[in-house]
Chains A and B, each alone.
Chain A
Amino acid sequence: MLVMSGINKVYQTEQVQTHALREFNLSVAEGEFVAVTGPSGSGKTTFLNIAGLLENISSGDYQLDGQSIVGLSDRELSRLRNEKIGFIFQGFNLIPDLNLYENVDVPLRYRGFSNKERKQKIEHALETVGLSARMKHLPSQLSGGQQQRVAIARALAGEPKFLLADEPTGNLDSLMAKQVMELLENINKQGTTIVMVTHDPELARRAQRNIQIVDGQLCDFTIYQGGTVNNDTDKNAVA
């Protein structure tokens, strides 16, 4: 599903050069629920952005769903991102001018679905997160937990294979965080691969597999919670 081998990411600013990821290797199999932890500034968000094709890599190879993304054009990357990847952010990042229906509509528009298909998918996605009664509300009229559920609905609407979440519960109280976590677990049960960055060890423990990033590198410390999961963090693993 996701295979990263020897990835380096260097941020170059005028004064400093930051090696955000160095010789980073990871492989995630289809259907896995991976929790990523690590100290602040260690490169978790950078990893997620690269996994989600939002940032290019300085060197190395990244294969998404069997296809190498090195050398693809912006258009091809955007298309892959649109079809295969759903994003959930710590800050929800709903578009403030658009109501819930329109927010969930955004990825579907770029996908080129017909009006009918879109309507059906949006309604289904909002139903999944339990917010179909509020389609015409603006994001500002919702609680944080509700906003994050809309963001999940938006990430799911296009039925991506792959869900990337960057501290999705970071801005939520523990009750709401639990609800969101349950939602993610349900989604994972339906077959969607999830990679979630979190600071909360309790939530991390609920995932099938835990990895830790320290100083831009993967620390092999995997917790298995039953099920069959590949024990592979080396570069030649196959998804």
Chain B
Amino acid sequence: MFSYYLQLAAKSLKSTPITTLLMVLAIACGIGISMTALTLNHMTGTNPIPEKSSQLFAVQLQSSGKTSEWPTSDNVPFQIAYQDATNLMRVMPKYKHTAMYKTGFSVRTLEPKFAPLLRTARVTTRHFFSMFNVKFLYGAPWSEKVDENPTLQVVINQDLNNKLFGGGDNTGKEIFLDDKTYQIVGIIEPWHPKPKFYDLNNGSFQSTEQLFIPLVLSSTYELPSFGNNNGWKDERNNTFKDKLASEVLWLQYWAELPDAEAKEHFQQFLTGYVDEQKKLARFERDDARAVLRNVQQWLDYNEVVGDDSYVLVAVSFMFLTVCLVNSIGLLLAKFLRSAPSVGVRRALGASKGQVFSQHLVEVGLLGLIGGLLGLVFAYLGLTLLKNNFAGFDFVATMDMVMFLSAPVIAICATVLAGVYPAWRVCNTLPSIYLKTQ
């Protein structure tokens, strides 16, 4: 019976092309817009590193002054001071943990005519790559020795490798970062965690850095931070050295703790460190403490999926509702116009239920067509976003879930919208339409 209803539906939709077009367009617009909003929401809510989400922990220290206020829910600052970073990194070699921050350079090859490129860089240690599952196309991270003795080595990403050399294995070659030559030791594969969970400064959906250099170089070459510098203490920081010794909070700190035991162990170590700093009277607060948060907790804590994105979804679904209400009107008119034929079908033995199903199948088909067109609209909408707003590149990409859910949502929504018109038409008294033509 379903295939019969489907045939009838196709015929019926073809017989009123204008009405059909209007309804399909209304549904497609509604679906297109709500899918665009849903995709943005879905992608911003996606876990950027699901395979390690519960093993990677952001480290926070309540190191600030007695009266300091932070915009976090527990009033703990989200970055740490350079001296704490270096202190922590020195111990607990059993686990991988590392400090990091963002800086930037003007980059060029040794070719004198090469026009310099401005690129952001991540200053960190070699652990960064294995902790965050960054894969190498060529070469490898710099060695452990390089993390201790300042050496001008750099890891770049594939994009930059293409820009500088047109691709290929260029490990061993040298490039200029500002006025110093660095040797390339590794080239990483494209890596774009969204959101950029390891450093949420300056926007959660920023692109990843294209260059990575050893953290030890920071003090030697006085590499400034391109992220936020949160000061709470009244200090005079005239030089970079002053800053390194200050209480300014500007580094991110992450630890990889494979299991609960490791986490417990590391937490104890941090607590010990905090107590020590309290004794030294560096940490002033009674509630001075260390906090570990895994990736999901970290994203929730930073409210990365902002309320705006839910508002957007809500508004777009309201729009979809308006589109559907419009379609209900059109459907009702169309169905009631076909009431004489329905009367004939009833006289020939169709039950109310069969007439109802027939019309719902028609509505479902309409929803399917509208949904597919809506998918095209959503794709266009996302492409438009991508092309016009930087930072949307990866967020505005539909994944399979979204791709499949669009037609399903469209069909469900239109069938819902079609229930009333179908119910109306199946309840009309057939005899009224049979008297004359």
A binding-site residues for B, Cβ under 8 Å: 45, 49, 52, 54-55, 74-75, 77-79, 81-83, 87, 89-98, 106-107, 109-111, 154, 158, 166
Given A97-B12, A106-B345, A106-B348, A75 and B430 contact (CB-CB distance below 8 Å): no
Residues of B within 8 A of A111 (CB): 349
Closest to A154 in B: B348
What's the nearest-Cβ distance from chain B to residue A15, in Å? 18
Decide yes or no whether B387 CB sits under 8 A from chain A.
no
CB pair B430 A91 closer than 8 Å? no
**Apart from A78-B354, A93-B437, A110-B354, what are 7 other A-B pairs with CB-CB below 8 Å?**
A49-B434, A75-B352, A75-B353, A81-B348, A83-B349, A109-B1, A154-B348
CB pair A49 B344 closer than 8 Å? no
Residues of B within 8 A of A94 (CB): 344
Closest to B348 in A: A107
Bound CA–CA A106/B12 (angstroms): 15
Q: Which of A75, A94, A95, A96 has the most CB of B within 10 A?
A: A95
What's the nearest-Cβ distance from chain B to residue A103, in Å? 9
Decide yes or no whether B75 CB sits under 8 A from chain A.
no
Closest to B354 in A: A110
CB pair A79 B349 closer than 8 Å? yes
Decide yes or no whether B435 CB sits under 8 A from chain A.
yes
Q: In B318-375, which residues have CB < 8 Å from any A CB?
A: 340-341, 343-354
- From A78, A93, A106, A107, B340 is in contact (CB under 8 Å) with A93
Closest to B12 in A: A97
Bound CA–CA A74/B345 (angstroms): 14
Residues of B within 8 A of A81 (CB): 347-349
What's the nearest-Cβ distance from chain B to residue A31, in Å? 22
17 A-B pairs within 8 Å (CB atoms) are namely A52-B347, A54-B430, A75-B351, A79-B349, A82-B348, A82-B349, A82-B350, A87-B348, A91-B434, A93-B347, A93-B437, A97-B11, A97-B341, A109-B1, A110-B350, A110-B354, A166-B434
Bound CA–CA A197/B1 (angstroms): 34
CB pair A49 B12 closer than 8 Å? no
What's the nearest-Cβ distance from chain B to residue A201, in Å? 22
Bound CA–CA A200/B282 (angstroms): 114
CB pair B436 A78 closer than 8 Å? no
Interface string of B412-437 (1 = CB under 8 A from A): 00000000000000000111001111
Top 7 closest A-B pairs, CB basis? A82-B349, A91-B437, A78-B351, A107-B348, A110-B349, A49-B431, A54-B431
- From A78, A92, A96, A97, B346 is in contact (CB under 8 Å) with A78
Q: In B169-190, which residues have CB < 8 Å from any A CB?
A: none
Bound CA–CA A90/B435 (angstroms): 7
Bound CA–CA A87/B344 (angstroms): 9
What's the nearest-Cβ distance from chain A to residue B1, in Å? 7
Closest to B7 in A: A102
- From A54, A97, A109, B15 is in contact (CB under 8 Å) with A97
Residues of A within 8 A of B15 (CB): 97
CB pair B349 A78 closer than 8 Å? yes
- From A54, A79, A96, B434 is in contact (CB under 8 Å) with A54
